[in-house]
Amino acid sequence: MSGHAAVRRVTWENARAALWFWPSVWASTALVVTALLLAVHPGSGGWRWPGGATSAAVLLQVVASSVMAAATVTFSLTVVALQLSSQQFSPRLLREFARDRVTQAVLAVLLATFVSAVTCVLGIGDTPLPLFALALVFALGLASAGAIIAFVGHIVRSLRVDSLMRSVHTETVAMIGSIYGTAPAVDEPLDDDARSLMLPDRPPDIDVRATRSGFVRRVHIDAFVRHAQRHDVVVELRVMPGDHVTMGTPIARAWTGGRTAGPPDLVERAIEVGYERTMEQDIAYGFRQLTDIAVKAVSPAINDPVTAVHAIGYCGDLLVRLEQVDVRPCGVRDRTGAVRVVVPDRDLRYWLDLVCGPVRRYGASEPIVLGGLLRMLRDCAAAPVSPHQGAELLRQADLVLEQATLGSVDLEEVRDRHARVGAAVRGDLDAAFDDRAGETRSV
């Protein structure tokens, strides 16, 4: 949960998510560089500033005042973007806005320009004028003008809900690839008997409990296995990234051969817990942000079912990717081949409930949304799936149909989409996808 390495990683993640970090670094760098350039004067036959001290002072005054005004506008636009994102899309998207590299870069350029201009004032009284320092301020002033223009275009693109959904989807796809790689899906889920084969055939010696409350951010598996081998213990984790733990609740159990020292500290060093969820290892957090957008879109305040269907479509792509990999608990072995850590995982039912549950409840009276859910389930069934995956997809389709509170005409359309899910599960893709004019694909 903590430990020196975990603390460093959490601190770095928090710094990346803070608007002040990179602007502060750039401002400090500009202060040092400008101070050094003030001590460098061109030779008697070198370049000279095309004007006297008065023109140099005017330049510095104009740059400093203009940059501060631009920084104020930038902060204002950022606050407006955060407010709109929280109210119309999802409050969990605020962290992504704060981590936005373009916003941080623009603020960094503006603050660096201001600091450089103010610092350069110290050398205006010298003769000759500090040419190199003035040239730096001039270049930073031009860069600031370009940064403001780029920022306005960027903030307009960022506030589009499609851009937000694409960003979350892209990051989640990358996370799925980094966690699961290309491990193929298995035909059947891992049952309790198969899981017990990875663990010692006796009750655990220690139940490890959480020493603090918060969200599991990251599990350091490699370091975990090395320490478990060194202490000759076997640990079964009972939490995973994205889970909320409360102090005193069980998070792992360990087989230590009778020893009581070591495992609690071992687990605490391997698991990071923070006050908020992050996208480091938490695939479910990506789904949660997309479903938040869908639920917000079908609320009476927004009333935008098409956006909800688009968010469902992004979730469908993620579900298809998870269908193709081995999503089940696994045992991580050490160099000798012995299982040291058993890591839990979420199954397909969890992912389907996460996506379909809130959307079908809040969109029960909207045929476009229910049709979008059933279309997503049909597309997931059209991909190569195992029998138990097909059964889970049919279960979700039945729940969507049961939740529908529609009139006879709209309900008939939803029933047609439901039947297409069953056809896709059976492998009858013609019956699943044939339609009159593409109405089962369009919104």
Q: Are residues 265 and 323 in the same domain?
A: yes
Q: Are residues 197 and 137 in the same domain?
A: no
Containing domain of residue 137, as a range? 4-159
pLDDT at residue 188 greater than cutoff 60: no
Q: Are residues 302 and 440 in the same domain?
A: no
Read off the pLDDT of residues 220-268 as tens digits, 9 standing for 90 and up: 988 888 888 888 889 999 999 999 999 999 999 998 876 665 667 888 8
Q: Are residues 29 and 122 in the same domain?
A: yes
Angle between helices 263-270 and 221-231 (to 10 degrees): 170
Query: What does residue 434 show for φ and ψ, rounded to 5 degrees?
Result: -70, 135
Q: Mean pLDDT check: name the lowest of 96-100, 130-134, 203-207, 394-398.
A: 96-100
3 — pLDDT class (breaks 50, 70, 90)? very low
Q: Are residues 182 and 299 in the same domain?
A: yes
Read off the pLDDT of residues 264-318 as tens digits, 9 standing for 90 and up: 788 888 899 988 888 889 999 999 999 999 999 999 888 899 999 999 999 999 9
Q: Which of 292, 314, 345 is the last residue of a domain?
A: 345
pLDDT at residue 145 greater than cutoff 90: yes
Is position 407 within any domain? yes
Q: Mean pLDDT check: name the lowest of 22-31, 46-55, 164-173.
A: 46-55
CA-CA distance, 77 to 71, in Å (whole number)?
10
CA-CA distance, 308 to 300, in Å (whole number)?
13
Q: Are residues 210 and 93 in the same domain?
A: no
Q: Are residues 170 and 146 in the same domain?
A: no
Sign of the torsion angle spanned by Cα atoms 411, 414, 420, 425: negative
Count other C-beta atoms under 10 Å from residue 119's C-beta. 21
Q: Are residues 28 and 135 in the same domain?
A: yes
Q: Are residues 410 and 310 in the same domain?
A: no
Spacing of C-alpha 229 from chain mean position: 32
Q: What is the DSSP letter of 434?
A: -
pLDDT at residue 54 greater than cutoff 90: no
Looking at every residue in the chain, the average pLDDT score rounds to 85
CA distances from 432 to 378, 400, 429 (A): 7, 17, 5
Is position 41 within any domain? yes
Identify the pLDDT of residue 4. Answer: 45
124 — pLDDT class (breaks 50, 70, 90)? confident
Q: Which of 159, 177, 204 is the last residue of a domain?
A: 159
8 or 208: whose pLDDT is higher? 208
Q: Are residues 202 and 321 in the same domain?
A: yes
Total tally of structural domains belonging to the chain? 3
Identify the pLDDT of residue 2. Answer: 40
372 by Cβ neighbours in 10 Å (0-12 / 13-18 / 19+) ranks as buried
Q: Which of 125, 159, 193 is the last residue of a domain?
A: 159
Decide if 326 contacts 180 (C-beta within 8 A).
yes
CA-CA distance, 188 to 199, in Å (whole number)?
20
Identify the pLDDT of residue 83. Answer: 79
Identify the pLDDT of residue 194. Answer: 52
pLDDT-above-70 percentage for the chain: 86
Is position 355 within any domain? no
For the whole model, what pTM was predicted?
A: 0.82
Identify the pLDDT of residue 187. Answer: 45
Q: Mean pLDDT check: name the lowest of 9-23, 46-60, 143-157, 338-352.
A: 9-23
Q: Are residues 145 and 220 in the same domain?
A: no
Read off the pLDDT of residues 360-406 as tens digits, 9 standing for 90 and up: 999 998 999 999 999 999 999 998 888 999 999 999 999 999 988 77
